[in-house]
Amino acid sequence: MNKTIIKIESLVYEYKKDDQEQPVRAVDDITLDIEEGSFTVILGRNGSGKSTIAKNINALLIPSGGVVYVDGFNTADDNSIWEIRQRAGMVFQNPDNQLVSAVVEDDVAFGPENLGIEPDKIRQRIEECLKAVGMWDQRKKAPHMLSGGQKQRIAIAGVIAMRPKIIIFDEPTAMLDPNGRQEVMGIIRQLNRDGITIVLITHFMSEASDADRVIILDQGKVAIDGPPDVVLKETTLIRALDLDVPLIVDLSERLRQRGRRMPVFTRAEEMVTYLCR
């Protein structure tokens, strides 16, 4: 069993709205342990608290109650912020908010430069990271000339250039077309295979099937937590939470209702193999 790299204990996060006297509780007493090297997907409709959890892990937000540890460092400790940000990188929904330079390779260099990495090693990281996301040929281009999917790949390259142990993806495919989503998800899966701990915040149920663990939130609380083969089959609960049932699960159910004796599948490859037999 791998060590716990993210430890969330009784996390509460509240914020104030101008038109309300009482604070709004976005996260309500959540406790989670996330293992090093794992791939965790956190799902939920808008307002469920999933992005708030992501920002608490990266110390962009500080808990109103409870505590969050990242690789043993308390996110509420100002003296630990540098250590936490080195260990936990974050990729946001809109890559334009994360790109800071006028040239792709300069953008990837920005993080390592701020870490004080030697120039020769920075150049090596730029090449490694841009090749890892399939953007080496675009290194001299201006980011604003690229597609949404390409920009997101540049943002990912900028994060992995800092060599984090953890990458938190906060709805990274929400603004992308299907091809862009597929490209980014392929990179995320490869990063996890390379040993990086992945926390993926999403509202696309289809993105959960390759994870080790799926957590569905509702109104700031954990509604269900488990492996995707278990969680994604809880179709009654998923629909009650106003989420879409994954296409493959829905198709499995429809075939079963029409008299086909078969399991409920969560992956298309498994269903195709079964039907072909």
Cβ-contact 164, 89 below 8 angstroms: yes
> Which helix or strand (DSSP H or E) is residue 15 part of?
strand 4-15
Question: How many residues does this entry show for the chain?
Answer: 277
* pLDDT of res. 263: 85
pLDDT tens for each residue of 51-95? 999 999 999 999 999 999 999 999 999 999 989 988 999 999 888
pLDDT at 46: 87
Amino acid at 192: N
pLDDT at position 269: 85
Closest CA to 47 of 16, 72, 26: 26
Position 175 scores a pLDDT of 84
| The model scores a pTM over 0.85 | yes
Report how far apart, in Å, the C-alpha atoms of 96 and of each of 91, 100, 142, 172 are.
Answer: 11, 8, 12, 12
- Asked if 90 contacts 166 with a C-beta cutoff of 8 angstroms, the reply is no
Residues of the chain with pLDDT under 50: none
* pLDDT at 71 (0 to 100): 95
Phi, psi for 93 (deg, rounded to 5):
-65, -45
Per-residue pLDDT at 275: 83
Model confidence over 107-142: pLDDT tens digits? 999 989 988 889 999 999 999 999 999 999 999 999
pLDDT at 97: 87
**pLDDT on residue 265:** 86
What are the structure tokens assigned to 211, written together? Answer: 């994870």
Tokens of 167: 């990458």
Tokens representing residue 197 in the block? 């701990």
CA 140, 97, 70, 84 dihedral sign is: positive
Q: Domains in the chain, start-ordered, CATH in brackets?
A: 4-245 (3.40.50.300), 246-277 (no CATH)
